C-alpha cells in the first residue's frame, strides 16, 4: 500500500492496490456525509480530489504524524479552502488531531473542522485558507522561506536537513484571482523548485461552467511564468487518472530548476449519478437520495453514514506513522551531524526556534539629535539596517518602492536565484515587483514558517490592494510586518490618489491587528524594537516628510512606544489633554507651547499605537489620558471616525474627513486646517465649554 522509495527515485508504475482504492471510496463518502449532516458545505471538490490528496499524503508530503510541527516537514497548502474536507480527511487518516467525531461535527461551533481550514485551530493545518488565491501566494512565501533558511544554516551542502517542499492544491477560483497570478509570476522568476501547485481543473464554479468567465490557456500562462508544467487528463469514465497524476508528481519532485504546475482534469462530485459535473455539487449538500445513490455506485452500504473500515484505517495510520518515523530518524541523524559541524549556526537555530532576541538589539538602534528633521521612513530604513546587523533572520523588501519606503538592508544582496555581485539565492532584500496583494500573502507564508522575521513595504494608500492578506495575518496572528510610508497629505504633490485619509482607522478596525504611527525618528526605532519583541501582525506607518526629533528622553521613548502611548509634555495642573500620532505630535506640542503662554496648561500624549495602549492597565492609561481632565483634543491628518472614543463628550478632533489635493505639504496642512493653531483653537473651545 505504500511506496518505499523516495518519489524522485521511483521509476516503476504506481502501486495502487485494493486498500488504496477502498480508502478513496470511503473518503468520497465521508465528504458527502459530513456536508449532508450539517446541511451545507462543499462536497463536490472533496469527492473528486480524494485520490489526489490521498496519494500526496501517502507518497509525497513528508510529515511525521506524531509531530505535526516537525520542522523538516513538507508544507501542504489547501488553497481551495472551501474543500476543507480534503484536508481534514487526510489528517484523519494520518491520526493528526482529527477523528471521526470531528468529521461528524464539520462546520459546527467549537469543532476542529470549521468550514475553512484555520491555522492554529486544527493540528496539521499550515495556513488559514478560503479567500481564493491566498493559499497559492502564501505557499510561495513558504517556499521562499525554505530557501532563505537554507542560506542561514546550510548554504553549501547538496542535500540539507533544512530542505522541504511545498505542495498546493488549487482550484479554478484560486487561479482566477489576481493574487495567484502575481505570486506565480514571482515564483517563476525566483525559480522556486521546491514548490508544486496541483490545479484541480474541474471547470465548475458556483454560477456554472467556468467558461462563463474563464477560458484562457492557463497552462500556457504558467509556462510563460517559467514553471515546469504537466497536464493530466481524466479517465474515460470521468475519474481521476491517478497513475498519470503520480507520474506528474514524480517529475515535479525531480525538477530542480523551476516551480511545478500540474493541471489535472477532474469531474466534480464524481461518481454521483446526477450531481457530478454540476455547479450544485460545488457548494450544496447533495441530498439524501443522491448520497445514497452515490454510495451504491461506490459499492458501499447506503444505510451507513461516516463509515470507514477500522482495520483499513489502522493499516493506513500504521503505514503513515512508520514512514514518518523513518523520515524523522533520517533527519535526526542529519541534523546531529550538521550541529557537530556547525556549532555557531546551531546556536542561531536554537535562538530562532526559541524566538529569542539578542541582547545587543537595543544598543544597535541608531541615535538622533533633538531638533533635527528626519522623515520617519528614513529612520525606519536606518533602523532596519542597524538591526539587521545583529538579526540575520530579518529580511524583506518592497513592491518596487524600496528607495521610497526605505526597506533595503544596507550592504545586503538581493534575494534572487542568481549569484552575482549584488544578488544571491540567499539574499536578504526581496524584490516583490508591483504586486502588493501577493507581497502581503508571501510575507504571511514566510512568517508562518516561524524562524525568520519578514517585512514588506509600499505606500499606505496601497494597503487597500493588500487588505485580504493583512486580514489573514490578523486571523492567524503571524508576525508579519507591513511597512507603509507616505502616510498622509504630507506626501504633497502626488495628490489625492496617493494621500491616505480613511486608511488608519480602516486598518485599526481589523481585530488582532496593530497600527503603529511613530511621531519621530526615536519613536520609529523604538517601534521596530517593540515589533520584534511582540511577534504579532502590525503595520508601521511612516512619513514622507521630515519631522523634528522631539526633545524626549530615549528611555521614556522606548517604554512609551512599547506601551502604545505616553506623555511627551506633562503640566503640573493641566486643564486639557491633547493627543496625537505621527507627524501631528509636533503640532500638538507647538499648540501646547502657545497655550502655555496664554496661561492654559495642557498635557500632550503621543499615542503611536492605540492597540498597544488599549492593552495597558487602566491605571497606566489614566495616567496618560487623565479621566479627571475632561477637555480633550485629538489631532491626526486623516479620518476622525475613531477618535471619539478617546476624546469623549467634552472633546474635539482635528483631522480630515475628505480627500486631499495636489500641492506642497505645508500648503495642504494649512489649507485643510491641520495646524498648531487649529489644535490650539480646538483646545480653547473645549476648555471654555467645560468651564461654562
Strand partners, 405: none
- The pLDDT value recorded for residue 361 is 93
pLDDT digits (tens, 9 = 90+) for 76-120: 999 999 999 999 999 999 999 999 999 999 999 999 999 999 999
* Closest of 359, 340, 358 to residue 348, by C-alpha: 358
436 is catalytic: yes
Residue 12 has pLDDT above 70, yes or no: no
Question: Thinking of the domain 564-691, which architecture would CATH place it in?
Answer: 3-Layer(aba) Sandwich (3.40)
Question: CB atoms < 10 A from the CB of 322, how many?
Answer: 12
**pLDDT score, position 8:** 44
pLDDT per residue as tens digits for the range 47-62: 999 999 999 999 999 9
Predicted confidence at residue 1, as pLDDT, reads: 53
C-alpha cell at 272: 454521483
- Render pLDDT for 441-463 as a digit per residue (tens, 0 to 9): 999 999 999 999 999 999 999 99
pLDDT for 13 equals 81
CATH class entry, domain 7-329: alpha beta
Which residues, in sequence order, are CB contacts of 83 under 8 Å at separation 6+? Answer: 42, 45, 46, 49, 169, 171
Q: Is 17 exposed, middle or buried (0-12, 13-18, 19+ CB in 10 A)?
A: exposed
Domain 361-548 falls in which CATH fold?
Rossmann fold (3.40.50)
Alpha-carbon 498 to chain mean position: 24
Radius of gyration, alpha carbons of the chain: 28
In whole angstroms, what is the distance from residue 372 CA to residue 380 CA? 16
Tell me which of 177, 436, 584, 636 is the catalytic residue.
Answer: 436
CB-CB contact of 503 with 460 (8 Å): yes
Q: What is the rounded distance in angstroms from the CA atom of residue 641 to the CA atom of residue 83?
A: 39
Give the distance from CA 182 to its chain's centroid: 15
The residue ranges of DSSP E strands in 14-145, in sequence order, are: 75-78
Q: Is-contact 353 449, C-beta < 8 A?
A: no
Q: Say yes or no to pLDDT of 692 above 90.
A: no
Q: Residue 11 pLDDT > 70, yes or no?
A: no
What is the structure's pLDDT at 262? 98
**166: pLDDT strictly greater than 80:** yes
Residue 2 pLDDT grade (very low, low, confident, very high; cuts 50, 70, 90): very low
- The values of phi and psi at residue 121, to 5°, are -105, -45
Average pLDDT for residues 258-270, to the nearest whole number? 98
Mean pLDDT of the chain: 96
**Closest to 167 measured CA to CA, from 264, 73, 47, 242:** 73
Q: Please say whether the beta carbons of 667 and 685 come within 8 A.
A: no
**Is-contact 654 674, C-beta < 8 A?**
yes
Check if the beta carbon of residue 270 is closer than 8 Å to that of residue 48: yes
Evaluate if residue 650 carries a pLDDT over 90.
Answer: no
> Mean pLDDT, to the nearest integer, of 16-33?
98
DSSP state of 459: E
Spatial distance between the Cα atoms of 231 and 89, rounded to a whole number of angstroms: 26
List, for residues 411-433, the tens digit of each pLDDT value: 999 999 999 999 999 999 999 99
Location of each CATH 3.40.50.970 domain in the chain:
7-329, 361-548
Q: Over the stretch 515-532, which tens digit does the pLDDT of each residue have? A: 999 999 999 999 999 999
Q: Cis ω on the peptide bond leading into residue 271 (within 30° of 0)?
A: yes
Q: What is the largest CA-CA distance in the chain?
A: 91
Amino acid at each position: 500500500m505504500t511506496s518505499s522509495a523516495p518519489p524522485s527515485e521511483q521509476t516503476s508504475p504506481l502501486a495502487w492496490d485494493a486498500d488504496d482504492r477502498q480508502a478513496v471510496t470511503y473518503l468520497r463518502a465521508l465528504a458527502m456525509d459530513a456536508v449532508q449532516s450539517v446541511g451545507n458545505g462543499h462536497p463536490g471538490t472533496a469527492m473528486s480530489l480524494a485520490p489526489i490528496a490521498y496519494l500526496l499524503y501517502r507518497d509525497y508530503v513528508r510529515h511525521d504524524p506524531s509531530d505535526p510541527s516537525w520542522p523538516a516537514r513538507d508544507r501542504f497548502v489547501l488553497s481551495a479552502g472551501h474543500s476543507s474536507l480534503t484536508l481534514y480527511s487526510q489528517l484523519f487518516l494520518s491520526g493528526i488531531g482529527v477523528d471521526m467525531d470531528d468529521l461528524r461535527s464539520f462546520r459546527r461551533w467549537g469543532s476542529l473542522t470549521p468550514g475553512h481550514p484555520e491555522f492554529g485551530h486544527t493540528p496539521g493545518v499550515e495556513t488559514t485558507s478560503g479567500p481564493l488565491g491566498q493559499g497559492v501566494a502564501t505557499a510561495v512565501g513558504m517556499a521562499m522561506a525554505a530557501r532563505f533558511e537554507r542560506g542561514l544554516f546550510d548554504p553549501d551542502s547538496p542535500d540539507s536537513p533544512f530542505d522541504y517542499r511545498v505542495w498546493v492544491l488549487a482550484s479554478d477560483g484560486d487561479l482566477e484571482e489576481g493574487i495567484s497570478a502575481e505570486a506565480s509570476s514571482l515564483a517563476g522568476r525566483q525559480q522556486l523548485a521546491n514548490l508544486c501547485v496541483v490545479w484541480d481543473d474541474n471547470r465548475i464554479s458556483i454560477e456554472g461552467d467556468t467558461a462563463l468567465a474563464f477560458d484562457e490557456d492557463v497552462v500556457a500562462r504558467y509556462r510563460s511564468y517559467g514553471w515546469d508544467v504537466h497536464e493530466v487528463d481524466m479517465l474515460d469514465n470521468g475519474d481521476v487518472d491517478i497513475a498519470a497524476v503520480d507520474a506528474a508528481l514524480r517529475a515535479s519532485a525531480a525538477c530542480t530548476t523551476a516551480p511545478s504546475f500540474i493541471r489535472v482534469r477532474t469531474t466534480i462530485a464524481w461518481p454521483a449519478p446526477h450531481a457530478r459535473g454540476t455547479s450544485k455539487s460545488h457548494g450544496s449538500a447533495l441530498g439524501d437520495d443522491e448520497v445514497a445513490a452515490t454510495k451504491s455506485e461506490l459499492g458501499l452500504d447506503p444505510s451507513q453514514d461516516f463509515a470507514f473500515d477500522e482495520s483499513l484505517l489502522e493499516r493506513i495510520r500504521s503505514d503513515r506513522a512508520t514512514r514518518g518515523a523513518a523520515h524523522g530518524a533520517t533527519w535526526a541523524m542529519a541534523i546531529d551531524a550538521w550541529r557537530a559541524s556547525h556549532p555557531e549556526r546551531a546556536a542561531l537555530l536554537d535562538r530562532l526556534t526559541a524566538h529569542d532576541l539578542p541582547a545587543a538589539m537595543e544598543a544597535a538602534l541608531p541615535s538622533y539629535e533633538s531638533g533635527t528633521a528626519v522623515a520617519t521612513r528614513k529612520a525606519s530604513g536606518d533602523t532596519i539596517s542597524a538591526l539587521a546587523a545583529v538579526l540575520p533572520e530579518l529580511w524583506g523588501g518592497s513592491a518596487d518602492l524600496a528607495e521610497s519606503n526605505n526597506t533595503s538592508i544596507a550592504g545586503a544582496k538581493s534575494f534572487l536565484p542568481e549569484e552575482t555581485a549584488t544578488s544571491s539565492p540567499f539574499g536578504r532584500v526581496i524584490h516583490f515587483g508591483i504586486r502588493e496583494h501577493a507581497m502581503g500573502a508571501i510575507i504571511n507564508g514566510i512568517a508562518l514558517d516561524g524562524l525568520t522575521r519578514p517585512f514588506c513595504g509600499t505606500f499606505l494608500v496601497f494597503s487597500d490592494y493588500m487588505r485580504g492578506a493583512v486580514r489573514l495575518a490578523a486571523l492567524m496572528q503571524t508576525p508579519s510586518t507591513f511597512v507603509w510610508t507616505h502616510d498622509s497629505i504630507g506626501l504633497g504633490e502626488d495628490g489625492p490618489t496617493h494621500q491616505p485619509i480613511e486608511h488608519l482607522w480602516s486598518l485599526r478596525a481589523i481585530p488582532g491587528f496593530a497600527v503603529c504611527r511613530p511621531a519621530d525618528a526615536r519613536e520609529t526605532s523604538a517601534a521596530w524594537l517593540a515589533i520584534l519583541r511582540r511577534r504579532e501582525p502590525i503595520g508601521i506607518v511612516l512619513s514622507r516628510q521630515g519631522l523634528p526629533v522631539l526633545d524626549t528622553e530615549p528611555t521614556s521613548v522606548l517604554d512609551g512606544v512599547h506601551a502604545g502611548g505616553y506623555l511627551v509634555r506633562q503640566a503640573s495642573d493641566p486643564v486639557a489633554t491633547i493627543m496625537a500620532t505621527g507627524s501631528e505630535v509636533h503640532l500638538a506640542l507647538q499648540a501646547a507651547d502657545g497655550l502655555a503662554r496664554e496661561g492654559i496648561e495642557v498635557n500632550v500624549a503621543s499615542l503611536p499605537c492605540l492597540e498597544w495602549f488599549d492593552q495597558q492597565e487602566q491605571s497606566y492609561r489614566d495616567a496618560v489620558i487623565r479621566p479627571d481632565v475632561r477637555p480633550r483634543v485629538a489631532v491626526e491628518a486623516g479620518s476622525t471616525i475613531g477618535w471619539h472614543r478617546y476624546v469623549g463628550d467634552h472633546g474635539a478632533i482635528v483631522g480630515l474627513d475628505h480627500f486631499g489635493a495636489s500641492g506642497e505639504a505645508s500648503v495642504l496642512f494649512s489649507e485643510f486646517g491641520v495646524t498648531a493653531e487649529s489644535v490650539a483653537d480646538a483646545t480653547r473651545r473645549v476648555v471654555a465649554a467645560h468651564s461654562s
